[in-house]
Amino acid sequence: MKQLFYNYFILLLLISFLLGCTNENDNNMTNSKKHLLIYCGITMVHPMQKIADIIEKQYHCKITILQGGSEDIYQSLKMSKKGDLYLPGSESYRNKHLKDGLLSDYMYVGYNQMALLVQKGNPKNIQADLDCLINPNYSVSIGNSESSSVGKQAKKILTKAGIYDKVLLNAFKVASDSRTMNNLLKDGSADVIFNWRATAFFDENKDKMDALCLEDSIASKKKLLIHLTTCSKNEDIARAFMRYAGSKEGQKIFYNFGFLDKIGDSRKIAH
């Protein structure tokens, strides 16, 4: 719990710094740019940055993406009450936090799905079976259920399978987020991790790991919803960002980063 509060504190400091710098720069400009602050779960940062680059050019604005675990960044939004958009790793965060009154309209931008990720070429011949996570012969890592969507979803799936406690005992590392797990796989510390499937297709990861996909009945697709916040100061641009993310062009960007899109989610990406 102390670590979570520390994470929130660091994020709040970063928000204050970013907004402070923006305000100072704006005061020094005759034609100041509008500034959009986006809270984004780590796994979705790549496609969101691509879209941000496009929206910045179209609307002559500045967009800052604050990334972290889905719960961590929401708590930072809640404490600061500053920012325009929030994209967590699953729709469950909307259901959980809607009562706070900070989340307004949303746009559905595709799916996330859990998978077993292994080192490139699967040198240990690990099977696409959750039981590999309780095998003492494998070095295993899963996410922290209190700080991230990937950890929360792992707990849900593994609890349903009746092996969550066993996996915790077998795991050498309970990681704060998806990126940390991927780094453990890339540096050889981990043999198998339970992570978001899309991350295996990122440029920095695709030559280092493979995804072992699971049946939908085991790991269901999780909707990705980008939310307008009720404290947004630039609602017009924020809504434009949402529309683009949900458009055919935006969906292509998400799909190119390994996400299952809302238009053709049944398509398979060759790996």
Judged by DSSP in three states, 140 sits in strand
Could you read off the pLDDT of 250-259 as tens digits, one per residue? 999 999 998 9
Answer whether 225's CB lies under 8 Å from 104's CB.
no
pLDDT computed for residue 5 by the predictor:
44
Q: Are strands 114-119 and 209-213 parallel, antiparallel or unpaired?
A: antiparallel
Give the whole-angstrom CA distance, residue 172 versus residue 170. 6
> CA dihedral in degrees (237, 238, 243, 245; nearest 10)?
120
What does the domain layout of the chain look like in residue ranges?
A: 2-111+223-256, 114-213
pLDDT computed for residue 14 by the predictor:
52
Q: Establish whether domains 2-111+223-256 and 114-213 are of one fold.
A: yes
Judged by DSSP in three states, 82 sits in coil
Query: Is it the case that residue 265 has pLDDT exceeding 80?
Result: no
Q: State the DSSP code for 134.
A: G
Sign of the torsion angle spanned by Cα atoms 222, 257, 173, 148: negative
Burial code of 9-35, b = ≥16 C-beta within 10 A, e = fewer?
A: eebbeebeebbeebeeeeeeeeeeebb
Query: Is it the case that residue 271 has pLDDT exceeding 70?
Result: no
Give the whole-angstrom CA distance, residue 185 versus residue 3. 23
Query: In terms of Cα–Cα distance, which of 128, 271, 141 is closest to 212?
Result: 128
pLDDT computed for residue 262 by the predictor:
61
Answer whether 153's CB lies under 8 Å from 89's CB.
yes
CATH classification code of 114-213: 3.40.190.10
- What is 161-213 written as a DSSP string? TT-HHHHHHH-SEEESSHHHHHHHHHTTS-SEEEEEGGGGGSTTTTTTEEEEE
Question: Which tops the pLDDT comparison, 20 or 223?
Answer: 223
* Fold of the CATH domain 2-111+223-256: D-Maltodextrin-Binding Protein; domain 2 (3.40.190)
* Of the listed ranges 18-32, 114-128, 145-159, the one predicted with least confidence: 18-32
pTM score = 0.82
What is the number of residues in the chain? 271
